[in-house]
Amino acid sequence: MMPKATKSRQRHHRRQHGPGERPKVINKLIEHRLIQRVSYEEYRAKVRDVYGGPQGAMLAACSMISLHTTLGERLFQKRKFDLAGLRNILDVGSGAGQIARHLLRYADPEARLTCFDLSPEMIQRARNRVKSDRPRFVVADLMHLPFADDSFDCVTCGYVLEHLPDAALGLAELSRVMAPGARMLLLATEDNLSGAMTSRLWCCRTYNRLELARVCETLGLRWHKELWFTRMHKVFRAGGICVELVKQ
């Protein structure tokens, strides 16, 4: 008879793969490896180059084609992630201002918006796209944030953690600047086939959902709820990891 632990490992393994996905070994072969091969400084320079150049100029269009823009819009519009009552919102790695645009539309008018990105070029693109002087734009690295402890009651972090060698380093910084009870919308590339392909395109890594949840919990960020719209969305895991965290 198969030991219980093995059965549960097998069940766990099956859960990692959505329909039509291949075994993880294929994902591992496809996934970009630079982040594991070089120092963080070298990798960060590469990320700046990728987003500062022509690929970064196409980011907004890529987000529309991949339906990430639609996913973000629906999250806020349907109040799956409710922005009501929030006063001080931090948008991490704001890219071309994809999430900033939703925040301008759905956050309370008196909410303060701060958007930061590693790439000065992306900050300029975000400014051009949001066409509003309401958000404060800052060039900064998620690993060393220029913000005081407990200063935000909300963080939105869309597809940025995958540019860190270790999620814990960035999440610890975010936890530091979040006030107790503050909420975070976290979107991240998952360790499945579509995540592996994304990782190739943007030179980033992927995360295992259960491992990431464990890291969050150890940092006092409660894995409050996973945000799914429909059963199909959950089965296909469209948009990767999409979760609301709460700072304890």
Ligand X SMILES: C[S@@+](CC[C@H](N)C(=O)[O-])C[C@H]1O[C@@H](n2cnc3c(N)ncnc32)[C@H](O)[C@@H]1O
227 binds ligand X (CB under 6 A): no
Task: Out of 75, 83, 89, 98, name the contact with ligand X by CB under 6 A.
Answer: 98
The nearer residue to ligand X, 94 or 114, going by C-beta atoms, is 94
Pairing mode, strands 178-188 and 88-92: unpaired
Alpha-carbon distances of 207 from 37, 45, 63, 204, 240, rounded to whole Å: 17, 22, 19, 10, 9
Measured N-to-C along each axis, helices 98-106 and 68-77 cross at an angle, to the nearest 10 degrees, of 20
What does the per-residue mask of binding to ligand X show for 5-44, with x meaning CB under 6 A? ----------------------------------------
Burial of 80 (0-12, 13-18, 19+ CB in 10 A): middle
Exposed / middle / buried, residue 24 (Cβ in 10 Å: 0-12, 13-18, 19+): middle
Q: Does 154 bind ligand X (CB under 6 A)?
A: no
**Per CB under 6 A, 47 contacts ligand X:** yes
The span of 136-144, 176-184, 210-218, 226-234 binding ligand X (CB under 6 A) equals 136-144
Q: How far apart are CA 8 and CA 182, in angstroms?
A: 34
SS3 141: strand
Calpha distance 229→209 (Å, rounded): 18
Shortest separation between residue 228's beta carbon and ligand X, angstroms: 18
Min. distance of Cβ 7 from ligand X in angstroms?
38
Binding mask 181-220 for ligand X (x = CB under 6 A): ---------------------x------------------
Do 115 and 129 touch, CB atoms closer than 8 A? Answer: no
27, 43, 88, 95: residue in contact with ligand X (rule CB under 6 A): 95
Q: Which residues bind ligand X (CB under 6 A)?
A: 47, 51, 59, 63, 68, 93-95, 98-99, 117-119, 122, 141-143, 158-160, 163, 202
